[in-house]
C-alpha cells in the first residue's frame, strides 16, 4: 500500500469513527441521564429537623445508587402539607421529565382530624392526574392517631390500601413502619424520624422503590 493510499484509508476510517461517535452520542447521553423520581410529601419527606444529608430523598437516592440504579430523587416535601395542599401544587411539584412519584401525604390530615373523605378525594385526584401523565406512583400509607377514635381511624386507615388496589399502585402500607413510637428512631417531638429513623424507613421501602423503577422503565 502506497503512502497516499494508506493515508486516504486512514482518513476515511477516521471520518467513519467520528460519524459513528456523533450518531451514538445522543444514545450515550440518554443512557447516562438519571431516571428522576419525585418524592411528593410533607415534613416526613422534607426532613424537618434534619441536616440536608439526612433527609429521606437524599438517603433513598444514596441507597439506590449503591445498588447500581442511576436515579435522581427530588425532594418535593413541604412541612405541614395536607393531601389537598399536595394536589394544589401537583403540577409544579412534579415537572415534565418525572419518571415516577413516591406519594407520601395524609399524615397532617389525620393529625388535624380532616374528614377522611376529603383526604381520599385529594389523594385520588393526584393519582388520576399522574396516571394521565403516564407517571407510575408508589403510594406510602399513613395511619391515624388512635386518640381520634376507632371510627375515624378505621375510615382513614383504609384510604390507602383501597386506593392502591383500585388504581394498581405499588403500595407501602405504612411509611413509618417500625419507626413510629420508637424513641430511639424519632426526634424529641416523637413524630419526626431522626437520621437513624430515616435509615430504617429507607431500608424497608427500598424494595418497593425498586419495583417502582422497573415499572417506570416500562412506560
Residues carrying an active site annotation = 43, 189, 192
CA dist., res. 111 & res. 104, Å (int) = 15
User: Backbone phi, then psi, for 186, in 5-degree steps?
Assistant: -125, 155
**Exposure string (b/e) for 131-140, b if CB count within 10 Å is 16 or more?**
eeeebbbbbb
Cell of 137: 406512583
CA dist., res. 50 & res. 11, Å (int) = 59
SS3 content of the chain, % helix, strand, coil (to 5): 55, 15, 30
CA dist., res. 91 & res. 94, Å (int) = 5
> Coil, strand, or helix at residue 76?
strand
Sign of torsion over alpha carbons 186, 153, 76, 33: positive
Sign of torsion over alpha carbons 76, 82, 86, 88: negative
Amino acid at each position: 500500500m502506497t503512502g497516499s493510499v494508506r493515508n486516504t484509508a486512514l482518513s476515511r476510517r477516521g471520518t467513519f469513527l467520528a460519524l459513528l461517535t456523533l450518531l451514538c452520542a445522543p444514545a450515550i447521553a440518554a443512557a447516562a441521564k438519571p431516571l428522576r423520581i419525585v418524592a411528593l410529601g410533607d415534613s416526613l419527606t422534607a426532613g424537618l429537623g434534619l441536616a440536608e444529608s439526612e433527609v429521606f430523598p437524599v438517603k433513598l437516592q444514596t441507597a439506590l445508587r449503591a445498588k447500581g440504579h442511576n436515579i435522581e430523587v427530588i425532594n418535593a416535601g413541604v412541612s405541614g402539607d395536607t393531601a389537598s395542599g399536595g394536589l394544589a401544587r401537583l403540577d409544579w411539584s412534579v415537572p415534565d421529565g418525572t419518571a415516577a412519584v413516591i406519594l407520601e401525604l395524609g399524615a397532617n390530615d389525620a393529625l388535624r382530624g380532616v374528614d377522611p373523605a376529603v383526604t381520599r378525594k385529594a389523594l385520588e385526584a393526584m393519582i388520576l392526574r399522574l396516571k394521565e401523565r403516564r407517571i407510575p406512583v408508589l403510594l406510602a400509607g399513613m395511619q391515624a392517631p388512635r386518640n381520634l377514635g376507632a371510627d375515624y381511624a378505621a375510615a382513614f386507615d383504609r384510604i390507602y390500601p383501597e386506593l392502591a388496589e383500585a388504581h394498581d399502585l405499588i403500595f407501602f402500607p405504612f411509611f413509618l413502619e417500625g419507626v413510629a413510637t420508637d424513641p430511639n428512631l424519632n426526634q424529641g417531638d416523637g413524630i419526626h424520624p431522626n437520621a437513624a429513623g430515616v435509615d430504617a424507613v429507607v431500608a424497608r421501602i427500598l424494595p418497593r422503590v425498586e419495583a417502582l423503577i422497573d415499572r417506570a422503565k416500562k412506560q
